[in-house]
Amino acid sequence: MRWMLLLVSLGAAWHAAAQPLGLPPVPIPEDNPITPAKVALGERLFNDVRFSSTGAVSCATCHAPATAFTDARQVSVGINGLTGTRNAPTVVNAAYNATQFWDGRSPSLEDQALHPIVNPVEMAMPSHDAVLEIIRADREYTRAFRNVFDVRPEQIRIEHVTKAIAAFERTQVAGDSPFDRWYFGGEDDAISDAAKRGFDVFLTDGRCVSCHTIEQDHALFTDHRFHNIGIGVNAMQDRIGELAKAFLVAKAQGIDVDAAVLSDPDTSHLGRFAVTGDLSEIGAFKTPTLRNVAVTAPYMHDGSLATLREVVEHYNNGGVIPADAPVNHYLSGGIRPLNLTEQQIDDLVTFMESLTSPQFAVPTTSGPVAALDRREEQ
């Protein structure tokens, strides 16, 4: 009786969290409905370090719940201290992404979970079957898989594993930020005047809303598209021709794109082009959400920008750092020098800091709550 109550309350709690302020309903594929038991199984799989060749790396190693499901590193580190080439995107609100990975090479959360398991610099398992062997030898897992998917141990397939992980990830959604409470909730003092000014910059002189889109009743802060904003490619402009061609030849011969883009920084910087071969997508990467951006540093696909202020400066310069560096020729049409004042840059950063959901909020030295604290101290 008690466990039924637990399940019901878990379900109720999940439903209460399922529609945070500022977010639309989570898209759920028909073939992978969310149930509390599946979510619990997915969470266990997500945190299981046995699914790596050294027994030391799980999904949570790079997507750590304590650090907003990132790892706070420039690029992630897998087994044996091997580094990849890309910054770990947060799982929070990834359920809303039209594609997964910085270059969109995965069409779904279910598919995404397949890749790090067998990537040589991430978890480096020899095959997905190796994962299934571990699962089949674990009584708690086999019981859970039977409960969730109605399969006997020998019937467990990797698709069941990734479905459970995806279901867990779909519960990691977060809205209710101070910005949401102000913009959608009508609470006039939820954010500071500086943040409100920053939002105006976001919509006008900053031109940010062009790609970090918002809508009438919700804000995902991404257009799900791929744009070359001058990160990575800038330093290899004279080599792009050679590299692009060499990559296409290698791809035609059957190399694994997933392994290639994480093994070599230059290949990584080719971006979406590596996935589609489209000449107009050289150096283009997916627009990430800005939700919780203040707690998911460092920034960009290669983690090359450490602070939000540096990010704004990069855009303010028109896609280069420093301002007089040559712009790469494949730059997205929307990127151009912005001529923002220092005040506008500060305000824009303050606005971005207001996008942190309460469950990930870190105490800051500014903002309305801190101001209250200071007043109390006086």
Partner 1 sequence: MRRVFLAVLGVAACTVVHADEFTEADLERWAAQFESVAQEGRRLWTSPELGTNGVACGQCHPNAANTHPETYPKFQKQLGRVAQMWEMVNWCIRNPLEGQDLDPGDARMTALLAYIAKERRGVALEPGKH
Partner 2 sequence: MKMNRRGFLQRSGAAMAGSILPVSLVKLAFGQEQGGQDFTFAYISDSHIQQISGARFVRNWDQGLKRAVAEANLLEPAPDFVVFGGDLAQLGTKAELDHGAEMLSALRYPLYCVMGEHDYYLDLGEYWSELFGDHYYSFDHKGVHFVVLNSILTYDEWTYERWETPERRMLEMAGLDNPNGSPFMVGERQREWLRNDLANVPRSTPIVVLSHSPLQKIYKGWNFWTEDAEEVQAILAPFEKVTVLYGHVHQIQYNQIGSISFHSAMATAWPWPYPSTYAQSGAYVPVMTVPMNRADPFNERDATGWQFVDVHTGRVAVNYTLYDNKNRTVAFNAATGRPEDMEYQHPPRRIPPQAHY
Q: What is the DSSP letter of 155?
A: G
Q: Choose one: 135-143, 150-158, 237-245, 363-371; the region binding partner 2 (CB under 8 A).
A: 237-245
- Residue 240 CB, shortest distance to partner 2, in Å, is 8
* The two three-digit tokens of residue 94, written as one number: 């990834």
Stretch of 54-62, 82-90, 115-123, 326-334 contacting partner 2, by CB under 8 A: 326-334
Instruction: Check residue 251 for interaction with partner 2 (CB under 8 A).
Output: yes
Q: How far is the CB of 216 from partner 1 (least distance, A)?
A: 5
Binding flag, residue 332, partner 2 (CB under 8 A) = yes
Distance in Å, CB of 56 to partner 2, minimum: 37
Nearest alpha-carbon partner for 220 in 278, 166, 143, 289 = 289
Nearest distance from C-beta of residue 49 to partner 1, angstroms: 42
Burial (0-12, 13-18, 19+ Cβ within 10 Å), 137: exposed
Q: Which two tokens stand for residue 199?
A: 């939002």
Would you say 290 or 331 has its CB closer to partner 2? Answer: 331
333 is an interface residue for partner 2 by CB under 8 A = yes
Q: What are the residues whose beta carbons fall under 8 Å from the beta carbon of 222, sequence distance 6 or more?
A: 96, 97, 211, 212, 213, 286, 287, 288, 289, 290
Closest CB to partner 2 among residues 218, 251: 251
d(CA 106, CA 331): 24
Going through the chain in order, the beta strands assigned E by DSSP cover 226-227, 285-286
**Half-sphere exposure in the Cβ direction for 102 (13 Å, CA):** 26
Binding site for partner 1 (CB under 8 A): 203-205, 207, 209-210, 213-216, 219, 223
Side-chain-side CA neighbours of residue 161 (13 Å): 28
Cα–Cα dist 147/263, whole Å: 39
Q: Please identify which residue in 259, 336, 346, 368 interacts with partner 2, judged by CB under 8 A.
A: 336
Residue 131, SS3 per DSSP:
helix
Site string for partner 2, 192-231 (x = CB under 8 A): ------------------x--------------x------
From the list 21-29, 97-105, 260-268, 328-336, the region that binds partner 2 by CB under 8 A is 328-336
* 245 interacts with, out of partner 2, partner 1, none, CB within 5 to 8 A per kind: partner 2
Question: What residue 333 binds from partner 1, partner 2, none (CB within 5 to 8 A, per partner kind)?
Answer: partner 2
What's the min distance (Å) between Cβ of 250 and partner 1? Answer: 37
Selection from partner 2, partner 1, none that 242 binds (CB < 5 to 8 A by kind) is: partner 2
Q: How far is the CB of 247 from partner 2 (least distance, A)?
A: 10
- CB-based contact 307:295 (threshold 8 Å): no
Closest separation in Å from C-beta 208 to partner 1: 10
Closer to partner 1 by Cβ: residue 24 or 120: 24
How many residues form the binding site for partner 2 (CB under 8 A)? 28
Contacts of 217 (CB under 8 A, 6+ apart): 24, 184
Residue numbers 262-291 binding partner 2 by CB under 8 A: 276-280, 282
The pair phi, psi for residue 35, each rounded to 5°, is: -130, 155
Rounded-to-integer distance, Cα 92 and Cα 174, Å: 7
Binds 216: which of partner 2, partner 1, none (CB < 5-8 Å by kind): partner 1
CB of 220 to partner 1, least distance (A): 11
Q: Can you read off the two tokens belonging to residue 227?
A: 């744009």
In the bound complex, what is the minimum distance in angstroms from residue 369's beta carbon to partner 2? 37
Q: Which is nearer to partner 1, 253 or 339 (CB)?
A: 339
What DSSP state is assigned to residue 191?
S
Residue 226: how many other CB atoms lie within 10 Å:
24
Other CB atoms within a 10 A radius of the CB of residue 186 amount to 8
Distance CA 100, CA 110 (A): 10
- Residues binding partner 2 (CB under 8 A): 210, 225, 240-242, 244-246, 248-253, 276-280, 282, 327, 329-334, 336
